[in-house]
Structure 1
Amino acid sequence: MGKANKVVIIGGDARQIEIAESLLAEGNEVFLLGFDQWMRNVAGISKAVSDTDVPWSELDAVLLPVSGLKSDNKVEACFSSKELILQESWLKKTPQNCLIMSGIHTNELETVIHTVKRPLIKLLERDDVAIYNSIPSAEGTLLMAMQETEITMHKSNTVILGFGRTGQTIARTFSVLGAYAKVGTIHPSEKARAEAMGLETFEFEDLSTVVQSADLCINSIPAMVLPEDILIHFPVRSVIIDIASPPGGTDFEYAKKRGIKAILAPGLPGAVAPKTAGRILAKVISQLLGENQVEKEA
């Protein structure tokens, strides 16, 4: 085991607790900021009452929530009774090679990083995280599909839009259950991969025809792929589960007018399996901390 790292976790949800405990188990020192309502006390995890309890000048990493920074540099903090605002002055006290980690890119975060000039890692944009996360995403999608439809997934007509890392795992999951899965993607390499897996594919220009028999449509494409002129072809009994990042790829207002059940369900790993989602992030964070230590010593 290499040198212990010092990490502060600023805000977040149940995933951050799992990350804190995983990092602690690997011998790291962990500080929590914005966790005054987390009632557990764990030796080796320090709950900071304020920013003065964090050794900023000694930190190896600052971990922000999956949602990054919101407007006015607000940080999502499920375990805090008070509003949590990230101060640039905190980050300026950190060593130059201190890693700033977040789930996603936000404009506010990019602005802060431009000012403090520290390395930024967007965890959810990494291939390894996306592949690991595709498993709880697929399970969460399946759970929603079973809850929201009145039919079995077996022999259901399931249309899957997008065949990236999450789309692939979803297609495999539904196919194993005996769904008639059809995959729509504009990328030739994704189409080839779907066909190599034995899945039926279709051209995107045929989407309005394909959805006419859809019991279920799962969208993972973060662009408007289900506008009014496509939704009009769906049977009213259809259920749409849109797992793309907000605002999704569906005209939800029109779907409601037509009486089609359309659900926006981003962030499924954190919602349906926070423990697993936290462990996935912890595994990658630990690896990044190790790589950073090697670079420092080089």
Structure 2
Amino acid sequence: MFAGEIIAGALLGSFTCLAPVHDNASTVRCANRPDLVRLMGYDTPAMPATCLPGEICPTGDPFAAREALRGLTMGRPLACETAGTDNRGRVLARCRIDSTDISCAMLASNHAVPSRTAGDCNCTTTVRRRPVLLQSARYEPGVLPGGLPQALPANARITLDMGDSNPARSLPAAPTVVMDGVALQETPWSLPVAGAMVMIGLWMAMANLALLQLAHERWPARARWGAPMDRLDPWLFLGLAAAGASPAAWTALWTRHAGRQQEALLPRLLNITGIQIGLLIGALWWWIAG
């Protein structure tokens, strides 16, 4: 039944976009479609290094605009209607979530301006007027990128002899290219990075709890010097300490009676802790200075 709905929607020029993700604030990738969908009716600031030379790009913060679009979709399925393709081969579409038109919502969010190339939204909401547009590069009038004039004199000659020193026969000097830009915020932390940090924190917490439990079972408390004890595998102890459980290892040596094992474990634990402290200082220095 679901496959039949997709086929029928494709024939009618409409489709459902499942699990939408956004590379920028004006396109969407769907889990059930191989092509890139360009949302109609509005333009947004281009992501860094994506505004082509000669292309006009609105000013603003592209990351904030993308987060605004992500806040509208939030991984929910989109009901889209196609209207053709643009000059890059992307599918032009109007998409909705329930009764909310995404293009109109972006225009009303102050992160987008009406488009000159991606159709008209015909939105009834108040939208931001198109500001002064920003070009990614400017060249001297009458000169193409690369240094050649648009028209050469009839008697002009161009030589490829690199040893020719005659200035009259050499290529014209390349013009100065002026790159325009706006201040952009750094890319915010993504969800995978935050998830990895959470997983590392959980792993370190589990390693510390495991080491404390092993020391509690094998070594008696400091107050019970004469109590019988079992040997704790030194490789397991030091391995957990190296994996992030060095606080638990020091706690175990301070609060439990390790007997003769303490003489063998203490210097190795000092080496492991010193390496960990050095790595932590280096990471903090790289983060602050970088």
Task: Give the TM-score normalised by the residue count of structure 1.
Answer: 0.20
Bigger strand fraction: 1
Higher RCO (CA 8 Å, separation ≥ 6 residues): 1
Higher helix share goes to which structure? Answer: 1
Find the structure with the greater CA-based Rg.
2
So what's the TM-score if we normalise by structure 2? Answer: 0.20
